Amino acid sequence: MSRGDDLDRWLDGHRGELLRQLIDWVRIPSISADPEHTADVRRSAEFLAAAAGEAGFPRAELWETAGHPAVFAERMEDPRLPTVLIYAHHDVQPADPLDEWTSPPFEPVVVEGELRGRGVVDDKQNVCMHLEAVRAHLAVVGRMPVNLRLLVEGEEESGSAHFEDLIRSRRSELAADLAVISDTGMLGPESPALTIGLRGLVYWEVRVAGPAHDLHSGLYGGTVANPVLGLATLLAGLHDGEGRVAVPGFYEAVRVPGAAERQEMARIPFDEAGFLAAAEVPGPSGERGWSTLERRTVRPTLDVCGIWGGYAGAGAKTIIPARCGVKLSARIVPDQDPDVIADLVRRHLLDRAPAGLTTTVEVVSRGRWVSAPPDHPALGAAGRAVEAVWGRAPSLVREGGSIPPVAAIAAELGLACVLFGVGLPDDRFHAPNERLRLEQLHRGTRAAVRLWDELGTLGAAGLGRPAGPASPG
Amino acid sequence: MSRGDDLDRWLDGHRGELLRQLIDWVRIPSISADPEHTADVRRSAEFLAAAAGEAGFPRAELWETAGHPAVFAERMEDPRLPTVLIYAHHDVQPADPLDEWTSPPFEPVVVEGELRGRGVVDDKQNVCMHLEAVRAHLAVVGRMPVNLRLLVEGEEESGSAHFEDLIRSRRSELAADLAVISDTGMLGPESPALTIGLRGLVYWEVRVAGPAHDLHSGLYGGTVANPVLGLATLLAGLHDGEGRVAVPGFYEAVRVPGAAERQEMARIPFDEAGFLAAAEVPGPSGERGWSTLERRTVRPTLDVCGIWGGYAGAGAKTIIPARCGVKLSARIVPDQDPDVIADLVRRHLLDRAPAGLTTTVEVVSRGRWVSAPPDHPALGAAGRAVEAVWGRAPSLVREGGSIPPVAAIAAELGLACVLFGVGLPDDRFHAPNERLRLEQLHRGTRAAVRLWDELGTLGAAGLGRPAGPASPG
């Protein structure tokens, strides 16, 4: 098809600009979890709003929240065309441990066809991909085949605390026929995929306090409760010997996949060996009776994300720590309710709180899982766009990660969601030396260009809009 | 006694200089555990050597080790007089957590009759006390009643790794009739005490490693072993439900006190309520069947001094940590062997090392307990010196802390040890806001002045030196 070829040629001719834009953006350390980077998250939003304006969105602005700002951009081509809401995020994970990066996290470098830096793949590349697809359409065709509303939040990596409030208060400006979520990935460079499920996330911080200050472990050792030993006992009681979460009721609402679904999952070209090799672990581990792919997608988990307390410096310091803490996260699956799970774990920890110490549990964030119907026409359109670029139909997969705002978009805005993103499992999301393989970015941009054409061909009615002249919003 | 009065008057007239010297010294952050403070530990040694020279030690010099330097000073008055080796240390504990100090740790301040700062009580005050007692004798009497050899090491707070080597290689220069160890305390301002026992110390660092880098807890949660959960299980298995250490063989060599010794301990005016109130804990905790004083002196313990792993910053970071670690310390009692205990715990941890993870155990330091005979004539001399100042005879107590070099002095140099120091249990040793009550310093200095007179009166023969003209060394 000549139009696709023309668009591809334009994209090929502009790779340098695309890469430069991404690099400039990655230089801004938009770490939303760290209050020291508050100004950087705002700088990142301002960078993006300017870039969206230049790319061809007549309206591009910051949307303030009680936390970090989101970016909204809009290009309404024709009210009769389908309107698509794109969701992504411009904030990034913290970069520590810093000493494990081979190059500074916010000084992105291109090495052997990949770009390295914090946020290159999660999630700035997906946003750049979408901006580039718009530029291509406008340059080659002169117009977009769909109306676009772009919402890029600034708090995804720290729990999206204000996202629901934001979309509730902006509901009419976000009206659309479909949401395209770009914060997921594929199975491998030659194993394209579209995501039809995400796990939910509940995050706790647990603190155990003992003496008012650190005590000399000689003077006090043996006489008072040690907070770290108390916390260790709490943590050791979170799982049973079979790798199952030992919190009563934790599995009660879990939708257990049937034999047919398990067979279908077994056919997905999931590279378990590669997946484990990327983590450099000796082997898989977890709940007995389920495959690795099942354990990371349709089974819930409870993990420790961090622990601290007392002396962690060089050499020996002989103290009984005054206090310690731990960060816990659960990935939850249909039909677990995040509020119920948040409370079950909190109560479980408080019920077993060690004697002589003060245990507190704070629920830091909670987000629902997502489960999309595999027969939605937009998913078919996305499948054709991906197949045209990769030469094979994408697998429909469930993901282990969580994007709480996707659940909010589905629930609050009543939108069907297509999850389209091009990161790969070994791209070191959230880890040192996060990387983006540039070939994925370029293929993804070609697919995005085609996705808008496919959705334009489908038309608003094909996406389920009731007959009538009005565009949503 | 007029001579004692004269000495006291001199001391009272020089309190300002004594305090200024201590403050100047405390300003030097001689943290031996932290490599960033290596130069400071040396500065501290140089400060002390200069101060000892000015106080009246004709020989005062740095003694190099493979680690931080010690300070040696000598004043040989007359070979027929008793020669006393004084031991103390000039290094200090790390100051963190810094945000809990009400004033900067290395900017000492006097508030309500107490001096606050890191190292004020542990152990710089004891050294200043001894220098001041020498100054007083020389100013008032013109000579010392004993010969003094002062050895002040620079690595006590980080495990005294090179102390044994040092005293072995300097054996002849350290010869003496008696050692006076000044790194212990009393029971309360009006409850003077001399220490006749110390626990030993074994210190380990345990590391548990999982994936090569932090993993995204969504992508990998449920599929690989979590190092922190593995470590927590290890730690939770260190004690049983009765508060006893669950490491097989741990108690095997423990000398169990008989009924008579337990009755005697029960008579010690140990202020349990005050002891616990100083820690601000709701109540005592520990091995069932033993009093708080027994648990801190004649019973061994195993504690966590610090733990770390994964994300400990603000907000939520969703990772599976690549690795974590913990610092463990045991306080051991007669007749536990530090090498045996070091190995028992190490083997116990490795035997139970969690699957799918790599557990390593490093023995950081180990030191013997000390147990002194309560009928030694030098202990009687020290008792009289203390009684003359406090107006009551000191209790003979065992301490919960450990001073591994004391065990080395006893074993390597074959010296009887008198443990004389004036810190108090609630002086926040090793904790933020460490303090010294100045009245303890001044009383201690008066007692030190009298201690040298008492030992001089006792004479070399009274301390067990064989008849003959030769002084040791």
In the A/B pair of chains, how many CB contacts fall below 8 A? Answer: 360
Domain boundary among A323, A348, A366: A366
Residues 6+ apart with CB under 8 A from B124: B22, B25, B26, B90, B92
Please identify among residues 257-296 of chain B the ones whose CB lies closer than 8 Å to any CB of chain A: 275-276, 279-287, 292, 295-296
Residue A238 has pLDDT above 90, yes or no: yes
If asked whether residues A107 and A30 sit together in one domain, one would say yes
Q: Are B30 and B69 in contact (CB under 8 A)?
A: no
Mutate to test the interface with A, among B220, B272, B427 (most CBs of A within 10 A): B220
Is this complex scored with an ipTM above 0.85? no
| CATH number reported for the structural domain that contains residue A241 in this entry | 3.30.70.360
Task: State what percent of residues in chain A have pLDDT above 70.
Answer: 98
**Boundary-marking domain end, from A321, A349, A366:** A366
Tell me the pLDDT of chain B (473 aa) as tens digits: 568 899 999 999 999 999 999 999 999 999 999 999 999 999 999 999 999 999 999 999 999 999 999 999 999 999 999 999 999 999 999 998 899 999 999 999 999 999 999 999 999 999 999 999 999 999 999 999 999 999 999 999 988 989 999 999 999 999 999 999 999 899 899 999 999 999 999 999 999 999 999 998 988 999 999 999 999 999 999 999 999 999 999 999 999 999 998 998 998 888 899 989 989 998 999 999 999 999 999 999 999 999 999 999 988 889 999 999 999 999 999 999 999 999 999 999 999 999 999 999 999 988 889 988 878 999 999 999 999 999 999 999 998 988 889 989 988 999 999 999 999 988 998 899 999 999 999 999 999 999 999 999 999 999 999 876 555 54
Chain A residue numbers with beta carbons less than 8 Å from the beta carbon of B282 are 356
* B163 Cβ under 8 Å from any chain A Cβ: no
The whole-angstrom distance between A133's CA and the closest CA on chain B is: 28
B91 is catalytic: yes
Tally the domains of chain A. 2
Q: Would you state the pLDDT for residue A473?
A: 47
Q: Is residue B283 part of a domain?
A: no
The Cβ of residue A1 has, within 10 Å, a number of other Cβ atoms equal to 9
Q: Do B144 and B45 sit in the same domain of this protein?
A: yes
Phi-psi sector, A377: left (phi>0), alpha (psi -120 to 50), beta:
alpha
Cα nearest neighbour of B245 on chain A: A222
For residue A275, being part of any structural domain is answered with no
Q: Does pLDDT of A105 surpass 80? A: yes
Q: Chain B contacts of A193, Cβ < 8 Å?
A: none
Catalytic, out of B40, B156, B177, B294: B156
| pLDDT reported for residue B470 | 53
Closest B-chain CA to A432: B213
Contact B399 A218 (CB under 8 A): yes
Q: Residues B249, B327: one domain?
A: yes
Would you call B213 and A311 a contact, using CB atoms and an 8 Å cutoff? no
CB of B430 closer than 8 Å to CB of A215: yes
Q: Which of B159, B303, B399 sits opposite A315 (nearest CB)?
A: B159
Range of the domain at B425: 2-198+369-462
pLDDT at site B471: 53
B55 and B173 inside one domain: yes
Whole-number mean pLDDT of chain A? Answer: 94
Closest CA to B345 of B222, B149, B202: B202
A230 lies in the same domain as A354:
yes
Residue B293 in domain: no
Asked if B296's CB is within 8 angstroms of A216's CB, the reply is no
- The answer to whether A219 contacts chain B (CB < 8 Å) is yes
Is B296 within 8 Å of A220 when comparing Cβ atoms? yes
Shortest CA distance from B232: residue in chain A = A232
Q: Mean pLDDT across the stretch A55-82?
A: 97
Mark which of B344, B367, B390 sits at the end of a domain: B367
Assess whether A396 and A422 both reside in one domain. yes
The shortest CB-CB distance from A94 to any of B97, B281, B313 is to: B313
Residue A423's CATH number: 3.40.630.10
Averaged pLDDT for residues A248-257: 97
pLDDT at A122 over 90: yes
Judge if B342 and B447 occupy the same domain: no
Which of B118, B114, B48 lies closest to B86, judged by CA? B48
Q: Cβ–Cβ of B329/A316 closer than 8 Å?
A: yes
In-domain check, residue B282: no
CB B312 within 8 A of CB A306: yes
* CB-CB under 8 Å, B224 with A279: yes
Residue, of B117 and A278, whose pLDDT is higher: B117
Pick the residue of A160, A229, A304 with the most B CBs within 10 A to test the interface with B by mutation: A304
Each residue of A188-232: pLDDT tens digit? 999 999 999 999 999 999 999 999 999 989 889 999 999 999 999
Residues B424 and B318 in one domain: no
Among the listed residues B8, B74, B77, B91, the single catalytic one is B91
Q: Average pLDDT for residues A359-378, to the nearest whole number?
A: 91
For residue A261, is it within any domain? no
Nearest alpha-carbon partner for B331 in B302, B372, B353: B302
Q: Where in A281-385 does DSSP place strands (E)?
A: 301-310, 319-320, 323-332, 358-367, 370-371
Q: Is residue A56 a part of any domain in this protein? A: yes
The mean-pLDDT minimum among A402-416, A449-463, B155-169 falls in A402-416
Residue B286 included in any domain? no
Q: Are residues B377 and B454 in the same domain?
A: yes
Of B34, B199, B300, the CB nearest to A313: B34
Q: Residues 83-102, chain B: which have Cβ within 8 Å of A?
A: 93-94, 96-97, 100
What local confidence, expressed as pLDDT, does residue A471 receive? 53
Query: Is B291 a domain residue?
Result: no
Please check whether residues B220 and B333 belong to one and the same domain: yes
Residues A324 and A381 in one domain: no
**Is the domain of A179 the same as that of A209?**
no
CB contact under 8 A, A281 and B316: no
Give the residue numbers of A marked as catalytic: 91, 156
- Nearest-Cα distance to chain A for B184, in Å, is 10
